[in-house]
Amino acid sequence: MSPLIKYLIIFSLLLIVYNLFKSFYHLSNNKSQPKKVVKFLAIRVGLSFLLFISLLVATQFGLISSHALLPQENSQQTSHTSQ
């Protein structure tokens, strides 16, 4: 995976967290402004959805690759060790 894609993913995650805290700030502020809370939460949900779709598309085009949680044994290695 290229470093550019990693930086874009990290930037997107930071932007999502920023909007989450911004909405929390407006929610906990003494002068409650529900329109701003809804606005920042809607931006956060939209960015999360966009990031999810972008990851799916990048995986489909081979820009990023997924891996298993547990390492898989190579079938050739197991056949050599049993002989």
Give the pLDDT confidence of 47-74 residue by residue, as tens digits: 999 999 999 999 999 888 877 777 777 6
Tell me: pLDDT of 81 over 90: no
Taking CA atoms, 79 is separated from 10, 76, 83, in Å, by 41, 5, 7
At residue 11, the pLDDT reads 95
**What's CA 25's distance to the chain center, in Å?**
23
Distance CA 53, CA 57 (A): 6
Tokens representing residue 24 in the block: 């929390």
Comparing C-alpha atoms, which of 15, 61, 22 is closest to residue 53? 61
Tell me: pLDDT of 17 over 70: yes
Match 């930086």 to its residue by tokens. 7
